[in-house]
Amino acid sequence: MSENKQGGQSSQYEPRAVEAKWSEVWETEHIYKFDQGSNKEIFSVDTPPPTVSGKMHIGHAFSFSQQDFIMRFQRMRGKNVFAPFGTDDNGLATERLVEKMNAVRSKSMDRQEFITLCLKTLESIRPQYIRDWKRIGMSCDFDIFYTTINEHCQRISQKAFLDLVKMGRAYRKFAPVIFCPHCQTSIAQVEMEDKEKSTTLNMIKAKMAGGTFILYATTRPELHPACVGISIDEEGDYCTVKRPDGEVWTISKDAFERMKEEFQLVLNDTFKGKDIIGKTVEIPLANPVRVSHDISAKTEYGTGVVYYCSYGGLDCVEWMARHKDAEPILIMDESGKYTHGPYKGMESEEARIKVLEDLEKSGNLLKKEHMKHVTNVHERCATPIEYVAMNQWFIRYLDLKDVFLERGNELQWYPPHMKNRFDNWVKGLQWDWCISRQRFYGVPFPVWYDKKTKEPIFADESLLPVDPLKDLPKGKSREDILPEQDVLDTWATSSLTPQIAIQLMPQSLQEKLFPMDLRPQAHDIISFWLFNTVVRSHLHHDSLPWEKVMISGWALDPHGKKMSKSRGNVVEPQVIIEKYSADALRFWAAGSKLGDDLPFQEKDVMTGQKFVKKLWNAAKFSFIHLESYKGERPEKLEVMDHWILSHLQRLIKACTETFEDYEYVRTRLDTDKFFWQMFCDNYLEIAKDRLYTEDEAGKDGKLSAQFTLHHVLLAILKLMAPITPFITEEIYQQYYAKKEGKASIHISSWPVSDPSLESKEAELAGGLFLDVLSAVRKWKSDQNLSMKKEVQKITISAPDEAKALLSLVLGDLMGVTNAKDIVFGAKAARETGNYQETKIKISVEQ
C-alpha cells in the first residue's frame, strides 16, 4: 500500500477491521474470563439477559455500554469480574417473534410442534443476536451463558416454584386475568398501554320493584349479560325524579342537578343511598340483581349508580373481590368470543353494536353520548384487553410490602432517586403476583392434578426439569392425572437470574458470588425485573440479591421523543456502528449521566468518531518520537512537562473517584477535554520543539518530553479504555503491551496518581505560559499569519512573581511561538487572558 508511511503502519485508522480483530482476539484469548481459581476480590454482576428479538436496538446499545464501562473499570481496578451473559427467550415476546418469522399462529398449531418451531427458530437467530452484543464490545464472559428456556434455567425455575409451594407462598386460585382477545392469551400488566378511543357513553335504565327505574351509564354495554351487581353509595344523597311522561327514575341528587334540564325532570323524593339497598333490579338482557353499597360508587359521577360485570375492567374485578357473595357470570372464553345467548360467537366490538340495538328496541337505552376515553390495549396489537377468569397460580406477597420497602432501603441505588419508583410501585401493589400464563412456550409448571380429587401433584425435585405434558409423576399413569397446561410467567424465571448465573459455577464458588455486587438495568423495568428479583431473593434466601443497582436511562430520538417502530424514528445501532464504529457509539453512550435519558444525535457519534481518529493520530505522532525512548525517568523534568503531568495526576484522581460512583460521564468529559486541549492542542505543540531536537545539547529536554509523552498518553489510553475499548487496545498493543507485559489494556491496571509528579509551581507557570501563548496566537490570528510564522521579539510586562515563573519556561515559549527573542519589559500592549491577579501584557514584533 502506497499510503503506508513510517514503520509500515497505515496512516489511516480503519475501525471496522480493527474492531473486528480485537473482538476476536478478546474472545479467543479469553480476556474477560472469570477466574475461578483466583483469590482476587470478586465483582459480580447480574447482567441483564436481553430478550431475543432478532436485533439489538439502540436503547440496548446505550444501557449495555454503560454497564460495560463499569465492568471494564472494575476489571482494570484489579477485580475478578463475574459477568455472565444470558438471553431471555421465553415468553410472549418470543412467541410473537416466532409467529411473525414463520407466518404461523401458535393457537392454531399443535402445541409441541409450535414449541419445536420456537426452539428451532431461536437456534437460528440467537448466534447472530449475541454477535451484536460482542460487536459493541460487551466484556462479558460469554462462556458463562444461559438462555432462560434451557434446562438449567427450567430446573432452577421449577425448583424455586416448588420451594414456594412448600413455604405456602405459591397458591392456585380461580381469578380474572388480563387477556388479549386477539392474541388469545393472558398478558402481563407491563404489556398494556393506554390508547385514546372514541366511543359512546350509554345511559341505561333498569326496572326496579314498584315500576320505577334506576339509571346507570356505561361504556361497555355489551357486558350486560354478565352483569353481576349494581352499587350505590349508602351515605350518598339519592332521589326519585319524575319525567313529563310520568316515568319515575332513581339517580343521585348530583345527577339530578345535571340532568334535570335535559330530561325535564321534577324532583319527587330524596333519601339516602342505604334506603334502596337490597332492592331488586331487572337488568336488561340479564338476570336480576340487588342494589348494594360499594366504596367505588360516588354520587358525583355519572348517575351515582354503577353496574358491574364479570369483567368490564379492573374496577369490576375489584368489586367482585369485595362482594364475595356475587357469582361471576363468565361470558367470554379463551378465544376472546362471547359464549352466551344471542351474542354467542361475537367479539366485544360486534357485540357492543348488537347489544345497543337490542337495548334501544327494548327502550332501555336513554342516551348515547359520544366521548373520547382512554382504554387499556395490548401494546403489540392495539386490541383492547379483556378481563377473563381462569385458574391461576399466584405468589402470595401482599403481606410483605413493608419488608420489600425495607429491602429497597438496604439497596444502594445509582442514581439514588430511582428508589422512588421502587417505593411507589411497592406501595401501590394491590394483587398477589400471578405467575401462570395460558401460553405454549415457556417454562412449564412441574405440576399435575389428580383426576378424581383435582388436588395438585408436584414433581419430584430430583427429576427436574419436567414437562407435565410429556412426563408423569412417580407411580401414576396417564389415566390418573391431568397435566398443568399453563407455563410460568417469564418474570418468574428471569427474577432468578442471580441464582441462574451463579449455579453455573462450582459449588465452592457459589457462596462467594451471592449476594452479587451489582444489578445494572434500565429504569423501565424497575417495577418488574428489579422488584421481582428482590422478591425472589427475599423469599428464597432472606437476602438482597445484590448490594447495588445502577439504573440506565433511555435512548431517545433527536427531539427527545421515545423511539418506536410506529413513530418510525428508530435508529439501528448496527448501521451506526458500520458507519462510525462501536467506539464512537459507546462514546455517545457515555455522554449522559447515569439514569438520564439521552437524545440520539448523529453528530454526537461523529464527535466520538473524531475523538477516536484524533487519538490514533496523537499516538502515531507520539510513537515516532518514542522510538528512541528506553523507558528511563529523567533526573529533572522540564517545567512544562511537569505542568501536564501534574494536571494528569488530578485527572486520574477525579476519574477514579467518580467512576467508583458510576459517573463514567465525568471520565469521558474530563479525559476528552484533557486529551484534546491540554495534550494535543497545547502540550504536543510545546513539546515538538524539544522532541525534534537531535543534538546532544538538547538531550535532557528531549528525554523529559519523551518520559512525559509516554506517561501521559498511556494514562489517557487507560482512562478511556472502558469507554472506547477498541481504539485504546489497538494503540496499547502497538507500543505499551510488551512494555507492561499485558495481553490486553483491559486487564492492565487502572492508573494511580503519583504525588511525586504533582507540582503547584509548574501548574502556575504553565497557566501563565498558556496565557502568553494564547495572546501571541491571537496576535498572529489578527495579522492573518500562520501560527508557525517566526517573530523577532516578544515583550512581556508582568508582576515580578509572574516573571519569575515565566522565566522558568522561556525556552519552550520561544519554541512554540517561534520567537527569536522574548524579553521582559514595560512597553507591552496586549492583555493576556489572566488579568485577575497577575496583569500580564505582551507585544509582538514581526
Q: Using CB under 7 A, which residues numbered 363 to 402 contact RNA?
A: 373-376
How many whole angstroms separate alpha carbon 333 and alpha carbon 339? 7
Q: What is the DSSP string of 773-827?
A: HHHHHHHHHHTT--TT--EEEEEEE--HHHHHHHGGGHHHHHHHHTEEEEEE-S-
Confirm if 581 and 136 have CB atoms less than 8 A apart.
no
- Rule CB under 7 A: say whether 189 interacts with RNA: yes
Number of residues that bind RNA (CB under 7 A): 88
Q: Which of residues 458-497 bind RNA (CB under 7 A)?
A: none
How many whole angstroms separate alpha carbon 139 and alpha carbon 586? 13
Q: Which of residues 112-171 bind RNA (CB under 7 A)?
A: none
Task: List the grid coordinates of 671.
Answer: 479525559
Q: Which of residues 623-642 bind RNA (CB under 7 A)?
A: 624
Find the binder of RNA among 216, 263, 514, 769 (CB under 7 A): 216
Give the nearer residue to RNA in terms of CB position, either 102 or 375: 375
Give the nearer residue to RNA in terms of CB position, either 24 or 596: 596
Counts for the chain of helices (H) and strands (E), in that order:
25, 32
Count of alpha carbons within 13 angstroms of residue 579, beta-carbon side: 12
- Rule CB under 7 A: say whether 537 interacts with RNA: no
Residue 744 is given by DSSP the state -
Q: How far is the CB of 477 from RNA (least distance, A)?
A: 45
Q: How far is the CB of 281 from RNA (least distance, A)?
A: 14
Is there a cis peptide before residue 416, judged by omega within 30 degrees of 0? no
Strand 598-599 versus strand 555-556 pairing type: parallel
Find the binder of RNA among 21, 268, 301, 825 (CB under 7 A): 301
Task: List the grid coordinates of 375.
Answer: 382504554
String marking each residue 497-536 x if it binds RNA according to CB under 7 A: --------------------------xx--x---------
Residue (of 465, 275, 456, 259) closest to 366 by Cα position: 259
- Rule CB under 7 A: say whether 314 interacts with RNA: yes
Task: List the grid coordinates of 154.
Answer: 427450567
Angle at 371 between CA 288 and CA 430, to 5 degrees: 60
List all residues 6 or more positions away from 368 whose beta carbon is below 8 Å from its beta carbon: 200, 201, 202, 203, 356
Give the nearer residue to RNA in terms of CB position, either 253 or 298: 298
How many whole angstroms separate alpha carbon 576 and alpha carbon 601? 11
How many whole angstroms separate alpha carbon 529 and alpha carbon 513? 20
- Rule CB under 7 A: say whether 605 interacts with RNA: no
Give the nearer residue to RNA in terms of CB position, either 99 or 191: 191
How many whole angstroms separate alpha carbon 422 and alpha carbon 650? 37
User: Which range in 14-22, 52-60, 118-126, 662-670 contacts RNA by CB under 7 A?
Assistant: 662-670
- Rule CB under 7 A: say whether 698 interacts with RNA: no
Q: Which of residues 6-35 bind RNA (CB under 7 A)?
A: 11
User: Which range in 128-136, 216-224, 448-456, 513-521 contacts RNA by CB under 7 A?
Assistant: 216-224
Find the binder of RNA among 67, 158, 185, 219 (CB under 7 A): 219
Is there a cis peptide before residue 338, judged by omega within 30 degrees of 0? no
Find the binder of RNA among 405, 680, 743, 814 (CB under 7 A): 680
Find the binder of RNA among 100, 173, 593, 739 (CB under 7 A): 593
User: Which range in 97-105, 564-572, 678-686, 749-757 contacts RNA by CB under 7 A?
Assistant: 678-686
Task: List the grid coordinates of 145.
Answer: 451463558
Beta strands, E only, 47-127: 80-82, 85-87
Find the binder of RNA among 104, 201, 248, 346 (CB under 7 A): 201
Q: Which helix H or strand E contains 545, and what residues bound it?
A: none
**Helix %, strand %, coil % for the chain, to 5?**
45, 20, 35
Q: Residue 346, class by beta-carbon neighbours within 10 Å (0-12 exposed, 13-18 middle, 19+ buried)?
A: middle
Give the nearer residue to RNA in terms of CB position, either 318 or 761: 318
How many whole angstroms separate alpha carbon 500 and alpha carbon 349? 44
Find the binder of RNA among 688, 742, 793, 830 (CB under 7 A): 688
Q: Which helix H or strand E contains 125, and what residues bound it?
A: helix 111-135
- Rule CB under 7 A: say whether 712 interacts with RNA: no
Give me the amino acid identity at 186. Answer: S
Find the binder of RNA among 358, 685, 700, 763 (CB under 7 A): 685
How many whole angstroms separate alpha carbon 249 and alpha carbon 400? 47
| Sheet containing 819-824: order of strands | 819-824, 791-797, 841-845, 830-831
Find the binder of RNA among 57, 75, 135, 421 (CB under 7 A): 421
Mutual angle of helices 699-720 and 639-660, in 10-degree steps = 10
String marking each residue 736-775 x if it binds RNA according to CB under 7 A: --------------------------------------x-
Q: How far is the CB of 684 from RNA (least distance, A)?
A: 4
Find the binder of RNA among 150, 391, 569, 601 (CB under 7 A): 601
How many whole angstroms separate alpha carbon 391 and alpha carbon 437? 10
- Rule CB under 7 A: say whether 614 interacts with RNA: yes
Q: Which of residues 271-300 bind RNA (CB under 7 A)?
A: 296-298
How many whole angstroms separate alpha carbon 463 and alpha carbon 409? 39
Give the nearer residue to RNA in terms of CB position, either 363 or 428: 428
Give the nearer residue to RNA in terms of CB position, either 121 or 708: 708
Give the nearer residue to RNA in terms of CB position, either 74 or 667: 667
Q: How far is the CB of 221 from RNA (least distance, A)?
A: 10
- Rule CB under 7 A: say whether 734 interacts with RNA: no
- Rule CB under 7 A: say whether 258 interacts with RNA: no
Give the nearer residue to RNA in terms of CB position, either 375 or 807: 375
Give the nearer residue to RNA in terms of CB position, either 389 or 665: 665
Q: How many CB atoms lie within 10 A of CB 163?
A: 15
Find the binder of RNA among 21, 380, 391, 425 (CB under 7 A): 425
- Rule CB under 7 A: say whether 607 interacts with RNA: yes
- Rule CB under 7 A: say whether 669 interacts with RNA: yes
How many whole angstroms separate alpha carbon 82 and alpha carbon 73? 13
Torsions phi, psi for 493 (to 5 deg): -90, -45
Task: List the grid coordinates of 120.
Answer: 428451532
Q: Which helix H or strand E contains 398, and what residues bound it?
A: none
Give the nearer residue to RNA in terms of CB position, either 380 or 778: 778
String marking each residue 541-580 x if it binds RNA according to CB under 7 A: -------------------x-x------------------
Find the binder of RNA among 107, 653, 777, 830 (CB under 7 A): 777
Q: Which of residues 821-840 bind RNA (CB under 7 A)?
A: 833-836
Q: Which of residues 55-114 bind RNA (CB under 7 A)?
A: none
- Rule CB under 7 A: say whether 778 interacts with RNA: yes
Q: How far is the CB of 124 from RNA (least distance, A)?
A: 32
Find the binder of RNA among 481, 644, 684, 713 (CB under 7 A): 684
